[in-house]
């Protein structure tokens, strides 16, 4: 008998024992002896050598059944090392379960790049937005109960103010939490105005007792009294300033209760005599951001941006009321002849503006302070002038003009000196949404590009999760299919089990190579439009994701199916022939060409009339191709796979080979690809100096603008 053919047969028959080479050699030797004896016996009976070999092989019976029987008979004899190898294969399932917990952690998957979502963040919808979505598996929870309380308040309470009150009650000596509760009350007005005012008044009195040197509570009190004591009207008029026509707002006052207005004046003046003014808004934000820690991924980062954007500043409106009401009241008193009282009211104007400007931590703070200075510019110098104090009038007008100058220059920059839109096409989506309103920014293009890379990495990580989802669904289906056909055929078909070489080849060609090609495209930015942000490059990126998510599972399936069919031919096992028609092949080729064109070329080649039309076009064409190339063949396959028992071994072997390969693929994605993307994401976030990273104010750039305006305004007051 041909030696190579004999060795191949013996390999097949002992395939189920490959976990223990020693036992396999013993069984091979025994089988070889039996086969040689049978051949010699047939030759002695008068048969030719060729006929003797044929009869001997036929006497052995079905090789698949023999292989299963040999494995079952010798399993107990396996050495510990062999049994451990078998156990290693069995451990794939629990390993995949662990990978599933790591991959599908809800806290890592809550990220959205839609404009509506980002607008919701910047609108400060803290209670229902992403800042409140800190859900994760219980064993991955990273916040203590006290930290969760500080971050979110007591969510069992109905109103935000009540939620924040619990924080202060839990830490009653902390001035920051008390101020946070009082400010949240200002934003929590309800239909029962009397009850709300009573609660707020009580909180203000408590705060004044606990922190008597802080002017915050006096100014809030003054604003409440002004609100009750008068009505503030306004009208807009055109004026010429520096040779340019502008529109300005002029305020008028209708007094309803003089006693309340007098009390408002005393509260305001009391605040200007206090040692300091602190709203603690930035302190409260810093507490929360410190608890959340340095952001490691875009989900955590957007939560922190949302917390910053959701910071409540309702006290600023009460300061507006205070200034407009009290300073306009001084005008009325002067007209009535009460010169002394009018001067007493306006005298500490600089103290008030300096106090609130020193505490400003957000751009809106600084802009409100400038708006209050603008009100003072129209009222205070005129009161001094009418009182005959010309030097004071000139000095006040000069200083107030200097205070307003930085914000006026900045507003002119915003109106006239926006960044080139081409720069924002290559910056991140968040940068493109939040930065144009800040005017001219002294950053190079590469600084903006970091935020773009962060967002790409976050989406790629989400793509890896989708790929793992496909692997898990495919593995589960393969295991169930393998079990079904094993029960139906009554055979394990160990003879058709995949070899380590096959598994390695499939993992390398079907997963490692395609993903490496994608990452090279993504990192280099040479092809596929990755030099643009995800919003500008959504078509190419979608096509790339479709190719990767479809090609990787398809390559794995095709390579395994090819191997199983080859083995079935070698062992004379029935298998279904391919039913693909020429039309199927043409449609498949068109689909591949279609998606590759959109994947490689950037967006600008497809958007002569705007991206919406192109997105709709690729969506419709892609849906049609997906139906023709994926959905229909998949349905056809599912209908065929359970229909005919004569292909039981083929389908069982196909499913049994797919299951461990998909399990290893999922482990590879979870232990290598996702950690790499997480490291890259964290590294990029740590390097970004524009949007991402732990926020100061709403963004790094906005914080710089705020500090620049604030410094210039305070310098004007010195």
Q: Is the confidence at residue 122, as pLDDT, over 50?
A: no
For the segment 352-365, the average pLDDT, to the nearest whole number, is 92
- Global pTM reads 0.75
Q: What H or E segment, with its residue span, contains residue 28?
A: helix 21-44
The listed range with the strongest mean pLDDT (25-34, 54-63, 563-572, 583-592) is 563-572
Length of the chain in terms of residues written: 718
pLDDT digits over 112-121, tens only? 444 444 444 3
* C-alpha to C-alpha distance for 163 and 154, rounded to whole angstroms: 4
Other residues' Cβ atoms within 10 Å of the Cβ of residue 350: 20
What percentage of the chain carries pLDDT values higher than 90?
A: 24
Of 8-12, 195-199, 336-340, 643-647, which gets the smallest average pLDDT?
Answer: 8-12
**CB environment 139-171: b (16+ within 10 A), e (fewer):** eeeebeeeebbbbbbeeeeeebbbbbbbbbeee
Residue from 263, 235, 233 nearest 249 by CA = 235
Identify the H or E element spanning 244: strand 244-255
Place of tokens 């056909």: 485
Average pLDDT on 382-404 reads 92
Give CA–CA dist 200/224, Å, rounded: 10
Decide which of 298 and 276 is more confident. 276
Give the pLDDT band (50/70/90) at residue 390: very high
400 confidence band (pLDDT: 50, 70, 90) = very high
* pLDDT tens digit sequence for 421-462: 666 777 777 777 777 777 666 666 677 788 888 988 988 988
Per-residue confidence (pLDDT) for residue 481, from 0 to 100: 79
- Residue 605 binned pLDDT confidence (cut-offs 50, 70, 90): very low
What's 556-589 look like in SS3? HHHHHHHHHHHHHHHCCCCCCCCCCCHHHHHHHH
Res 399: pLDDT: 93
Q: Stretch 589-618: mean pLDDT, rounded?
A: 59
Asked if residue 133 has pLDDT above 50, the reply is: no
Give the model's pLDDT for residue 529.
Answer: 78
Asked if 469 and 630 count as a contact pair (C-beta separation under 8 A), the reply is no
Average pLDDT along the chain: 77
User: Phi and psi for 684 in degrees, rounded to 5?
Assistant: -65, -40
Most confident of 145-159, 231-245, 402-416, 689-703: 145-159
Contact status, residue 467 vs residue 551, Cβ threshold 8 Å: no
Residue 420 DSSP one-character state: P
Interval 471-476 mean pLDDT:
86
Contact yes or no for 534/541 (Cβ under 8 A): yes
User: Which tops the pLDDT comparison, 164 or 119?
Assistant: 164
Rounded to whole angstroms, how far apart are CA atoms 228 and 248?
A: 26
Query: In the predicted model, is pLDDT for residue 125 greater than 50?
Result: no
CB 204 within 8 A of CB 220: yes
Q: What is the pLDDT of residue 28?
A: 55
Averaged pLDDT, 629-646: 63
Question: Could you give the CA distance from residue 287 to residue 151 in angstroms, rounded to a whole number?
Answer: 8
402 confidence band (pLDDT: 50, 70, 90): very high
Extract the tokens encoding 372.
């209050």
Q: How far is CA 205 from the centre of its chain?
A: 43
Q: And the tokens for 142?
A: 């990273």
Number of helices and strands in the chain (H, E): 33, 2
CA 621, CA 606: separation in Å to the nearest integer?
A: 14
Q: How many CB atoms lie within 10 A of CB 201?
A: 13
Assign 3-class secondary structure to 478-503.
HHHHHHHHHHHHCCCCHHHCCCHHHH
712 pLDDT band, cuts 50/70/90, is: very high
To the nearest 10 degrees (0 to 180), the angle between helices 315-335 and 258-272 is 110
Asked whether 556 and 654 are in contact (CB, 8 A), the reply is no
Q: Is pLDDT of 385 > 90?
A: yes
Q: What is the dihedral of CA 302, 304, 310, 312, to 10 degrees?
A: -170
> How far apart, in whole angstroms, are the C-alpha atoms of residue 134 and residue 160?
18
Mean pLDDT is lowest, of 3-17, 153-167, 196-210, for 3-17
Render pLDDT for 231-275 as a digit per residue (tens, 0 to 9). Answer: 888 777 666 666 666 666 777 888 999 999 999 999 999 999 999
């Amino acid at each position: 008998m041909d030696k190579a053919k004999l060795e191949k047969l013996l390999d097949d028959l002992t395939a189920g024992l490959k976990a223990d080479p020693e036992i396999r050699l013993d069984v091979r030797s025994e089988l070889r002896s039996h086969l040689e004896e049978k051949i010699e016996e047939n030759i002695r009976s008068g048969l030719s050598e060729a006929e003797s070999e044929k009869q001997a092989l036929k006497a052995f019976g079905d090789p698949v059944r023999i292989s299963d029987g040999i494995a079952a008979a010798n399993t107990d004899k396996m050495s510990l090392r062999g049994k451990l190898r078998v156990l290693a294969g069995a451990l794939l399932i629990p390993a995949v379960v662990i990978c599933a917990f790591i991959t599908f952690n809800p806290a890592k998957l809550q990220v959205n790049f839609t404009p509506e979502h980002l607008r919701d963040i910047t609108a400060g919808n803290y209670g229902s937005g992403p800042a409140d979505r800190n859900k994760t598996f219980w064993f991955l929870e990273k916040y203590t109960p006290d930290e969760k309380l500080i971050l979110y308040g007591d969510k069992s309470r109905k109103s935000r103010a009540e939620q924040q009150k619990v924080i202060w009650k839990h830490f009653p000596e902390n001035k920051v939490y008390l101020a946070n509760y009082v400010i949240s009350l200002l934003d929590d007005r309800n239909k029962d105005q009397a009850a709300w005012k009573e609660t707020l008044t009580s909180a203000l009195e408590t705060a004044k007792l606990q922190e008597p040197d802080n002017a915050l509570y006096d100014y809030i009190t003054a604003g409440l009294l002004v609100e009750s004591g008068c009505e503030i009207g306004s009208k807009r008029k055109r004026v010429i300033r520096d040779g340019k026509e502008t529109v300005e707002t002029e305020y008028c006052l209708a007094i309803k209760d003089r006693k309340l207005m007098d009390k408002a004046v005393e509260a305001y003046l009391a605040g200007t005599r206090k040692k300091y003014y602190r709203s603690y808004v930035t302190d409260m934000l810093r507490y929360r951001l410190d608890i959340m820690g340095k952001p490691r991924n875009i989900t955590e980062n957007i939560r922190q941006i949302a917390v910053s954007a959701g910071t409540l500043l309702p006290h600023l409106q009460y300061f507006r009321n205070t200034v407009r009401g009290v300073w306009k009241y001084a005008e009325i008193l002067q007209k009535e002849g009460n010169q002394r009282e009018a001067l007493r009211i306006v005298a500490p104007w600089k103290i008030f503006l300096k106090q609130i400007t020193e505490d400003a931590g957000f751009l809106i703070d600084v802009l409100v302070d400038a708006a209050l200075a603008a009100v003072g510019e129209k009222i205070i110098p005129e009161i001094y002038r009418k009182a005959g104090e010309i030097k004071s009038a000139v000095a006040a007008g000069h200083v107030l003009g200097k205070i307003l100058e930085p914000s006026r220059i900045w507003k002119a920059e915003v109106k006239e000196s926006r960044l080139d839109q081409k720069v924002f096409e290559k910056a991140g989506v968040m940068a493109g949404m939040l930065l144009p309103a800040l005017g001219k920014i002294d950053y190079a293009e590469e600084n903006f590009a970091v935020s773009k890379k962060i967002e790409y990495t976050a989406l790629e990580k989400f793509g890896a999760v989708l790929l793992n989802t496909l692997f898990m669904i495919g593995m589960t289906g393969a295991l169930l299919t393998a079990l079904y056909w094993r029960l139906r055929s009554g055979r394990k078909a160990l003879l058709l089990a995949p070899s380590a070489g096959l598994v390695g080849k499939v993992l390398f060609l079907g997963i490692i190579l395609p993903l490496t090609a994608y990452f090279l495209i993504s990192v280099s930015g040479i092809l596929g439009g990755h030099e643009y942000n995800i919003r500008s490059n959504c078509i190419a990126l979608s096509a790339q994701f479709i190719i990767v998510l479809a090609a990787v599972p398809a390559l794995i399936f095709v390579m395994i199916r090819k191997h199983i069919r080859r083995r079935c031919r070698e062992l004379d096992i029935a298998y279904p022939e391919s039913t693909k028609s020429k039309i199927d092949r043409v449609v498949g080729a068109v689909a591949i060409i279609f998606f590759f064109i959109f994947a490689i070329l950037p967006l600008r080649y497809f958007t002569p009339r705007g991206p919406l039309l192109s997105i709709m076009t690729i969506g419709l064409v892609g849906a049609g191709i997906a139906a023709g190339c994926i959905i229909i063949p998949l349905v056809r396959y599912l209908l065929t796979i359970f229909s005919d028992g004569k292909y039981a071994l083929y389908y069982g072997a196909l499913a049994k080979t797919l299951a461990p390969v998909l399990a290893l693929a999922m482990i590879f994605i979870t232990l290598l690809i996702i950690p790499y993307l997480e490291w890259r994401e964290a590294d990029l976030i740590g390097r970004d100096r524009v949007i991402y990273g732990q926020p100061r104010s709403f963004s790094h750039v906005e914080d710089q603008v705020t500090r620049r305006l604030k410094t210039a305004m305070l310098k004007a007051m010195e």
